[in-house]
Amino acid sequence: MPRAISHANMPRGEGRRKTERMLKLLTGAYGRPRQRRAGAAVDVLVATILSQNTSGANSSAGFESLKRHFGSWDAAADAPVAAIERCIRVSGLSRRKAPRIRNILRQIRAETGRVSLDFLRARRAQEAYDYLVRFDGVGPKTALCVLMFSFNVPVFPVDTHVYRICSRLGLLGSRTPGARAHEVLGPMIAPGNRQAMHLLLIAHGRRTCRARRPACRSCCLLGLCRFAKRRAERKGKGA
């Protein structure tokens, strides 16, 4: 099982210097994100599951629909899967996500007596991580989001935007699995900057460093980007 909490001794060198420069440039382009207030862990868990393979707007719409319709996670746990699916259809992959969400809610209640993850607050971060990744549909990114946004643990979740940008900038090797990317990137970033870097990279991935047709000319990270350099070289040779 990957070790989630392995950031105590940050390495010095190119990676650390590059992430510091990235943070400065991204902050200049987008502003420093506000530190998010800690949210209820079950809320963060469900919201992050809904965010998988969809846009932020769609996942938020599905989450709000779910909360509005059921009013409590106990009610959602007792509901038919079809009712959950209808609420989250806007979030995409509802046939897969609905049974996963209900099963997780029921499993938490069966193990703890209620649909709450507050007990994880008293656990060591690694223990909390290990508990969360046992659930079907909860991978490293989702578990680390719960730790970061519910319990203020200075971890570094890596979603598709973060992975893509850091790969293009040369911070991740071509063979680095997505499930282990947080272990590589986390130590390069000061603990107090990890949440801001996570949010800034997501914003940058959505607006500029897109998977298709990235807007390299307007990218604030252009001078640090190996991908853009190779892209320009290829265009030059073809000209």
- For 230, the enclosing helix (H) or strand (E) is helix 226-238
- For 83, the enclosing helix (H) or strand (E) is helix 81-88
Q: Are 215 and 40 in contact (CB under 8 A)?
A: no
Catalytic, 237? Answer no
Its sign, for the CA torsion 40, 42, 45, 51, is negative
Task: From 46, 159, 144, 60, select the one nearest 97 (Cα to Cα).
Answer: 46
Task: From 194, 216, 220, select the one nearest 16 (Cα to Cα).
Answer: 194
Query: 126 burial class (0-12, 13-18, 19+ CB within 10 angstroms)?
Result: middle
Q: Are 43 and 70 in contact (CB under 8 A)?
A: no
- Among 141, 229, 235, 237, the active-site one is 141
Alpha-carbon distance of 224 to 19, in angstroms, equals 10
CA distances from 33 to 28, 147, 176, 203 (A): 11, 18, 28, 10
Which residues form the catalytic set? Answer: 141
